[in-house]
Structure 1
Amino acid sequence: MAVEVKNSESQAKKRAFLTPKRILIVVGVVLALGVVGAIALNQLSKNPAFCGTCHIIKPYYESWKNSNLLANKHAAQGVECLDCHHKSYLEKAQEGINYITGNYSEPLEKLTFTREQCLECHEEDYEQAVAATEFEESNPHDSHMGEIECTQCHQMHDKSKVMCSQCHTFSWFEELDDSWEIES
C-alpha cells in the first residue's frame, strides 16, 4: 500500500510539473532556439570558408581560394560561392541533410550554368571580350558555331577548355596560361 501511495504521489507531481503553461514555455524555448540556430547557420553559410568544411566541397573551395582557375579569379574580384550558387533555405537544408546522411555522389554532379546566368554579371565584359579576342585568325567569342554556352569553354573549378582546338590550331592558343586545356 505504501508503494501505491508513492506511485500516486509521483504521478501527481508529474501532472503538477507538466502544466499546459510549462509545456507551452518549453515548446516556445525550443522553437526560439531553432529559429536562432537557423538564422546563425544561414549567416555562417554565406561565408565561403563554411562551404569548405564539407569534404566533398573542399576541392571547390580550394579552387576558389588558391588556384589559377576562374573560380580564384572570381574570388579576387570579391565573388563568393552564393553569388553564383543561389540556394533557397530549403535547398541549403536539403544539402545539409544529404551531407549528414551520406546521400550524395562523389564526385558531385557538375552544375550547369546558362549563358544568361553568366551574362547577369558579365554582359558588359562579354562585349569587351568579343572585341579583345578579335585575333587575326579568329575570334573564339564570335564562333561559327553560333551562340554557345559560356561553360562550353569556361570552367570555374577545373581547367577551361579551348573548344576551338578540337578542329583548329590558332597561334593565340600559345598565349593562354596553364588554366586552359587545349584539346587535340
Structure 2
Amino acid sequence: MDENTKVDQSAAEPAPKKSKKNRFVILGVVAVVVIALGAGFWKWHETAGFCAAICHTPMDEYYDTWANGTVDKSGNPVSNPAGMLAYAHANYDRAGNQVEHGAGMQCMDCHIPTISEQVHEALSWVTGDYEYPLEKRTLDDLVAARGLENSSEFCINDACHADLQSKDAFVASTAGLSAARNPHTMPHGKVDCGECHNAHTVSTNFCGSCHADSPVPEGWVSYKDFKAMSAKK
C-alpha cells in the first residue's frame, strides 16, 4: 500500500473513556469543598462580625457596643463598659468561663432569629428597605420571640446564670451592694430584669427612680443620668 494512502491507525482509534472512579473522586472533592464552605459560612453567620459585615449600616451602633464599648448605641460616651451587657458578655462563654474579649457570647446567643426573619432581613437589606436607625429590641421582645413567660426565664436558666436559679442565691448575688437596698430582694414586688440591666446602653439601678441612696454598681450610672442619656437619640 502506498504510504500516502496509509491510514493513521492511532487517529482512528477512539479516545479512552474516563474512569468512573475518577468522576466519583472529583464529585466527592467538590462535595467536601461545598460542605466545608457551607459550614464555615454558618459558623461565621453565628458571630457578631457577620451582623456587622452583612448589615453594617443599621447594625454598626449595636456592634460597637459589643466590640468596643466606648459608646452606647445612641452615641453616648461610656467610661466603663462593664455595665453594658453586650460588651460584658463578650468576655464570657455560655458556661460562665472568662475568655478573650470577643470570643465569648455572640449576638445570636440572645437574639435567636427564625429562618423567616432572616430571609425577610436579607431581602430588606438587598432592596434597601430596612429600618434605620434600628430601634432597640427590648427584653420583652426577646422574651416573646422565644415563647417564654418572663425575663427571669430568659436570663436565668440551665444555660445562663444557672447559679442564680434559687431565690437565696439570687438575693445573695447583690447583697454586697447595700445592706439596706439590695435590689434583688424586690421589696415592692417583681421587677423585670430589663429595668436595670441593659445590653446596648449602660445599666442602671431602677431603685434609684425613687430611692436616692440606691447603690450604683461599678460601670453603671445613676437612674437620673440614665434617663438623661436615654433622651438622646
CA contact (8 A) 2:183 2:207 kept: yes
For 2:193 and 2:156, the matched residues in 1 are separated by 9
Residue from 158, 165, 168 that aligns with 2:211: 168
- Does structure 2 conserve the Cα–Cα contact (< 8 Å) formed by 1:64 and 1:72? yes
Question: More deviation in 139-148 or 97-106?
Answer: 97-106
Contact preservation (8 Å) 1:133, 1:140: yes
Query: Separation in 2 of the partners of 1:46 and 1:111?
Result: 18
> Is 1:159–1:181's contact at 8 Å kept on the other side of the alignment?
no
Residue 64 of structure 1 aligns with which residue? 66
Superposed CA RMSD in Å reads: 2.6
User: What is the deviation of 1:79?
Assistant: 0.9
* 2:114 equivalent to 1:88: yes
State the secondary structure of the residue aligned to 2:189.
Answer: coil
Q: Give the TM-score of the pair, scaled to structure 2.
A: 0.56
- The answer to whether the aligner puts 1:144 opposite 2:159 as a matched pair is no
Q: How many angstroms does 1:124 deviate by?
A: 1.7
1:150 and 1:50 map into 2 onto residues whose CA distance is 28
Q: Match for 1:132: what amino acid? A: S
| Residues 1:124 and 2:163 aligned together | yes
Task: Kindly state the Cα deviation for residue 85 of structure 1 after the two structures are TM-superposed.
Answer: 0.7
Contact persistence 1:162–1:183 (CA under 8 A): no
Deviations 1:121-143 (A, max 9, x none): 12423654520322221111121
Q: TM-score normalized by structure 1?
A: 0.69
Shift in Å, 1:91 = 1.5
CA contact (8 A) 1:160 1:179 kept: yes
Displacement of 1:38 in angstroms is: 7.2
Any unmatched runs of 5+ in structure 2? 1-30, 70-80, 93-103, 140-150, 226-233
Report percent identity of matched pairs: 32
Greater share of helix:
1
Q: Give the length in aligned residue pairs.
A: 149
**Alpha carbons of structure 1 residues 88 and 41: separation in structure 2 relative to 1, 3 Å:** farther
Give the whole-Å Cα distance in 2 for the aligned partners of 1:156 and 1:56: 17
The farther-off stretch of 58-67 and 42-51 is 42-51
Closer, same or farther in 2 for the Cα pair 1:145/1:101, shift >3 Å? farther
2:66 alignment partner, SS class: helix
Q: CA separation in 2, counterparts of 1:94 and 1:40? A: 22
Partners in 1 of 2:39 and 2:120 — Cα distance? 16
Query: By how many angstroms is 1:39 displaced?
Result: 6.4
